[in-house]
Every structure is written in C-alpha cells, then in structure tokens.
C-alpha cells in the first residue's frame, strides 16, 4: 500500500514534530482527524485551515467518547514527556489501551515507539530482538520505560481486539519541523555546546520526514495480529559529531562538542526487517540536512561541501 486515498484516518499527537508534516500530507487525499491537547491554538487553526478535523484530548485522562468512530486507519504519534513515572505510564501506555479499544474496528493501527527502548550497546546496530533497557534515563527519566510499557499494551490490545497493529521503533526524525538535528544547528549558529558521551562517536540512523510520510501507508499495509514490531530508520548510520561537523561546514561555523556522562548513548539500528517488509528509506542524511538548513535559514548562503 503506497498511498492512502479516500480513507478516514485518525492521527494522534497531531501537533508534534513528527506528526505535523504527516497530517498535512494525509489531509490532501483523506478525511483526517487530528487529535492532541492543542495547547497551541495557532497550531490547531493551521490544521483546520488544511481541512483537518481537530479533537482536543488529554492522554493523561482520555475521554474516548469525543473521538470519531468507524475509522479506517489510526496513526499514533503521540508522546507525553514527564519526569513523573505515574503520569508517563498513564499517558503513554495505559491510555493506548483505551484508544485501541475505541478504534478496535479499524483496518490497521500504527503505534510509533522509539529505538530509545534498546539497552545501550555502543555502535552495535540494534535489531528488533535485542535486549531492551532504560536508554534515555540521562535526559528523559521516564521515556524508555514508558515506551517499553506502551509496546506491551499495543501487543496485548492487538490480540484482545483482533486489531491489525504495527509497532514502529522510530530513530532520529528530522526535516523542516523542529527536531534534534535542527536544535544542533541552532546550537552551532549560537556558539552553544552540543553534548555527547565521552569515548566513541554517538551513532544514530536519522530518518527524513519525506521518508516517514512515504512509509506510513506501507507500514499500515503490513499491520497484523500478533502485532509486528519493526525498526523505523534512515538508510545511513551517522554520528552526532559527524552531522554537526557537516552542518557547521554548511554555515561556516565550527560546532562546539562537549563530552558529558549526561548525554544520550548511541542507538544505530539494523533496518533489514523494515526493508524486507516495506522497502528502504531513501533520503541520504547529507541531502536531507542540507535541505533542513536551507529551509530553516534561507538568509544563509550555504557552502558547497
């Protein structure tokens, strides 16, 4: 399934950095419902102007009666960041079960997880069966554990409601929206330090929003019961140090790299299963990041590097 057209699609986390380009793309050919807390009314208005039907919902205490029924597909890109474990588990995991029960008649459900669920293992390319662990504790104390819990809820709910489900473990997303590499860009431009772990480079598999948009229909097409769990990442393994060096070269500023034990560990992944199921991501990281810089800072003349 390469494209969704004429479908009724619900996107949760509608104003997030991953969801924003996704929901605008889907709205061109589908009836799309965007679900979020909508603390930002301008973001809500922008979605409605694009033809998206908006629903205000707080996942810490979701009233699912406000959600539409009889939908075709559900894409869950929502995440709650909280330093309180009870709040994080309730919002990211428990609420997912309620959401999946409500949408149990859908054709397929995509739950976006994270490669931050893997136990740190240096530059090893994580496979779906590798050990899980508290990867993000240094910066986001509840993130990895609540994401692992949410995956379990998704697997159980898929079986309970016979709801075809795919769990996608997303690596570093980036594009025109604000994301980790774009934050690094702003640090470089402002002369602020970029923190990494001491020792070997911090490796990841960044994925451009163009690939994310293109691959969502394909992932929905392989959803199943029991749920399918698959890494979701770009075609290249690259370190924070390398992409910051490239960004700095484009804008003519040297990045300031600061080593600290409080930084995130490497999470590069093996994409063999993804490529087998839906094909590879296509945007090379240098091409994507050059576009990111050009879009976010059109006033800067980019260097040829």
What's the predicted TM-score (pTM) here? 0.96
Structure tokens at 116: 């931050």
Residue located via tokens 């330090």:
193
Structure tokens at 60: 């810490």
Give the pLDDT of the chain (305 residues) as one tens digit per residue.
889 999 999 999 999 999 999 999 999 999 999 999 999 999 999 999 999 999 999 999 999 999 999 999 999 999 999 999 999 999 999 999 999 999 999 999 999 999 999 999 998 999 999 999 999 988 899 999 999 999 999 999 999 999 999 999 999 999 988 899 999 999 999 999 999 999 999 999 999 999 999 999 999 999 999 999 999 999 999 999 999 999 999 999 999 999 999 999 999 999 999 999 999 999 999 999 999 999 999 999 999 98
The CA R_g of the chain, rounded to the nearest whole Å, is 19
Structure tokens at 129: 């069966």
- CB contact at 8 A, 248 and 188: yes
pLDDT of 258 reads 96
pLDDT of 101 reads 97
- CB contact at 8 A, 168 and 111: yes
- CB contact at 8 A, 68 and 4: no
CA dist., res. 175 & res. 173, Å (int): 7
pLDDT of 178 reads 84
In CATH, what number does 8-173+207-232 get? 3.40.50.720
Domain positions in the chain are 8-173+207-232
CA dist., res. 271 & res. 186, Å (int): 29
pLDDT of 160 reads 98
- CB contact at 8 A, 74 and 109: yes
């Amino acid at each position: 399934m390469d494209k969704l057209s004429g479908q009724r699609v619900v996107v949760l986390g509608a104003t997030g950095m991953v969801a924003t380009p996704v929901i605008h793309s889907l709205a061109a050919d589908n009836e799309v419902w965007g679900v979020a807390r909508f603390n930002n009314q301008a973001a809500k208005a922008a979605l409605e102007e694009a033809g998206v039907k908006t629903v205000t919902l707080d996942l810490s205490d979701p009233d699912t009666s406000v959600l539409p029924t009889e939908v075709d597909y559900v894409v869950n890109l929502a995440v709650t960041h909280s330093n309180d474990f009870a709040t994080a588990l309730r919002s990211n995991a428990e609420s997912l079960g309620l959401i999946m029960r409500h949408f149990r008649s859908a054709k397929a459900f995509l739950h976006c997880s994270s490669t931050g669920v893997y136990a740190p293992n240096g530059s090893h390319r994580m496979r779906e069966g590798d050990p899980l662990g508290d990867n993000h504790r240094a910066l986001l104390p509840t993130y990895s554990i609540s994401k692992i819990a949410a995956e379990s809820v998704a697997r159980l709910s898929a079986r309970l409601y016979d709801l075809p489900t795919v769990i996608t473990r997303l690596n570093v997303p980036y594009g025109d929206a604000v994301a980790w590499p774009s934050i690094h860009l702003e640090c470089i431009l402002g002369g602020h330090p970029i923190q990494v772990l001491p020792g070997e480079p911090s490796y990841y598999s960044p994925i451009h929003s163009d690939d994310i948009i293109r691959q969502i229909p394909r992932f929905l097409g392989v959803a199943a019961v029991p749920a399918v769990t698959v890494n979701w990442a770009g075609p290249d393994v690259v370190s924070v140090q390398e992409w910051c060096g490239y960004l700095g070269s484009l804008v003519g500023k040297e990045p300031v790299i600061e080593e600290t034990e409080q930084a995130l560990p490497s999470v590069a992944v093996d994409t063999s299963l993804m490529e087998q199921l839906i094909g590879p991501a296509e945007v090379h990281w240098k091409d994507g990041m050059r576009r990111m810089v050009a879009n976010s800072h059109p006033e800067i003349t980019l260097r040829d590097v």
